[in-house]
Amino acid sequence: MIYIAIQAWEQRKLGELANSYSGGTPSLGKTEYYGGNIPFIRSAEINSNSTELFLTKDGLKNSSAKMVSVGDILYALYGATSGEVGLSKINGAINQAILAIQPQEGYNSQFIMQWLRLQKQKIIDKYLQGGQGNLSGAIVKDFDIEFPIYEEQKKIGNFFKQLDNTIALHQRKLDALKQMKKGFLQQMFPENGGKSPRVRFADFQEEWDQRKLEVLAVFSKGRGYTKSDLVEKGSPIILYGHLYTKYEIIINQVNTFVTMKDKSVISKGNEVIVPSSGETAKDISRASVIGTKGFILGGDLNIIKPKREINSIFLALTISNGIQQKEMIKRAQGKSIVHLNNSDLKQVKLFYPSLGEQQQIGDFFIQLERIITLYQNKLDQLNTLKRAYLKNMFI
């Protein structure tokens, strides 16, 4: 029988195995201290490869700002980013809100950084209860960390580095897709008084028509449910908050349920819904299509049933973007709570092309939305996987 000796992990205080220090901020009144070529890293920039501010040599010399190098651990001590951690991507100077950590030989920076990231919530809960108070260098140096031998630290650190790189790659792709969608939304609907968009599908050249929405659709309202009516199991319902907490062009699934009341409004499919109240005008100036019949439509929902010449998906897209959205924002009324009623929506001037072009526009954005959802789901899976590995690969 072969016995393999597994070396126990060793507990050490972070301050015993690393050199650490904070920086400072040069006097803001001294313009000659700023605008140089030394990147000035602030706590919100610890994971960035660029900075908003740069220091001169005089600014660095005549202040408590201190230099860090690529690969140093940067730990945010206070402010909105308290507990955030990363490895510096640039050589630069840090301010007083950052603790730089430089491990001694035999201790891996990636391993320590990932441990700090894993412990973030516990640290915040212990030292920043209710968001009050600050972390300090003394607190961080007193952290007890369990360490395996250096080779195992290195392998664990490299594993998470590769996983982080994969997550970052998917995030960049997702951001690019969202930016692409935003660009197409701006170019595929008329803007600034124009009667046709800048980008169109082949074979469509006619100017778009313009009519008030009241002659192109039938309007109604949802009925009588609030968050207090929600239950774990029951009939599926769409409440107005769904549209601005989890916006979708087409709603095919919901995870909110109620016990059905008499005289409930039930979707037949292809209705366009718009919130009738919310915190800001922009929150409620958006629309979604009900893709599945049988959903209860709750109170504070405006329901629009387009007539034959208007495609539901096109209508939801166009009144959620560009000229129509701006008009809806202007019509929304209120202070702490704003309202947008069917009477307001009826007066919106809708630009629209032929039904065939509307269909192609709707299909294009639905396909783009599916691709975005696939990337978002993959990114969510990778982040879930990383959290699971973090919990299981550290003591």
Letter string b/e over residues 196-213, b meaning 16 or more CB atoms within 10 A of that residue's CB: ebeebeeeeeeebeeeeb
Residue 206's pLDDT is: 86
pLDDT in tens, 306-347: 999 999 999 999 888 877 888 888 888 887 788 888 999 999
pLDDT in tens, 48-102: 999 999 999 999 999 999 999 999 999 999 888 899 999 999 999 999 999 999 9
First to last CA, the chain: 29
Fold category of 148-203+354-394 in CATH: Helix Hairpins (1.10.287)
Q: Are 282 and 320 in contact (CB under 8 A)?
A: no
**What is the CATH code of the structural domain delimited by 10-147?**
3.90.220.20
Burial of 388 (0-12, 13-18, 19+ CB in 10 A): exposed
Q: Which residue type, as a one-letter code, is found at position 383?
A: N
Alpha-carbon distances of 19 from 73, 185, 289, 314, rounded to whole Å: 11, 51, 57, 60
Contacts of residue 356, defined as CB under 8 A and 6 or more positions apart, other chains included, come to 204
DSSP structural state of residue 22: E
Distance CA 166, CA 156 (A): 16
Distance CA 9, CA 12 (A): 10
Helices 150-187, 109-118: axis angle to 10 degrees equals 60
Structure token digits, residue 224: 């009588």
Number of residues that this document lists for the chain: 395
Fold category of 209-352 in CATH: Adenine-n6-DNA-methyltransferase TaqI; Chain A, domain 2 (3.90.220)
Domain extent listing, the chain: 10-147, 148-203+354-394, 209-352
Q: Which residue type, as a one-letter code, is found at position 333?
A: Q
Average pLDDT over residues 11-38: 95
pLDDT in tens, 252-302: 988 899 999 988 999 999 999 998 888 888 777 889 999 989 999 988 899
Q: Do domains 10-147 and 209-352 have the same CATH topology?
A: yes
Whether pLDDT at 129 is above 80: no
Average pLDDT over residues 153-165: 95
Structure token digits, residue 110: 């990636």
pLDDT in tens, 190-228: 877 677 888 888 888 888 999 999 999 999 999 888 888
Q: Which residue type, as a one-letter code, is found at position 392?
A: N
Q: H or E element: which one contains 383?
A: helix 355-393
DSSP helix/strand/coil, 40: strand
Beta partners for 144?
13
Distance CA 113, CA 109 (A): 6
CA 157, distance to chain mean position in Å, is 27
Q: Which residue type, as a one-letter code, is found at position 104?
A: Q
Distance CA 115, CA 113 (A): 5
